[in-house]
């Protein structure tokens, strides 16, 4: 059996899968097709693992960015809310006194 390179392009892998399936049908040997399909599944799982790692890394970057932005925006927002509430209370004091 030939060695299968898992670093080929998607088109090459699909073509190889087509050739392997036709060989398996001609030779009446499902083992070759099973091994070829298993190699394709391994390649797919490696690609999924890489994509998952990127998504996890992006998630952590977004969490960190959210924390930094919250720290930067929260104090001025609290100060503005305090000043607004103080102005409202001062203007309402005239109605109750």
Global model pTM greater than 0.75: no
pLDDT value at residue 4 = 57
Question: Domain residues of the chain, as ranges?
Answer: 10-96
pLDDT value at residue 69 = 96
Contact residues for 16 (Cβ-Cβ < 8 A; gap 6+): 4, 8, 36
pLDDT value at residue 1 = 45
Which residue stretches of the chain have pLDDT < 70?
Answer: 1-7, 10, 14, 32, 97
CB distance 36 to 25 below 8 Å: no
How big, in percent rounded to 5, are the helix, strand and coil portions of the chain?
90, 0, 10
């Amino acid at each position: 059996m030939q060695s299968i390179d898992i670093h080929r392009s998607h088109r090459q892998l699909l073509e190889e899968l087509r050739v392997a399936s036709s060989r398996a049908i001609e030779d009446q040997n499902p083992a070759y097709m099973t091994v070829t399909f298993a190699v394709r599944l391994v390649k797919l799982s490696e690609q999924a693992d890489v994509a998952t790692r990127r998504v996890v890394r992006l998630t952590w970057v977004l969490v960190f960015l959210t924390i930094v932005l919250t720290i930067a925006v929260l104090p001025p927002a609290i100060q503005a809310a305090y000043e607004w509430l103080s102005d409202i209370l001062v203007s309402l004091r005239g109605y109750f006194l």
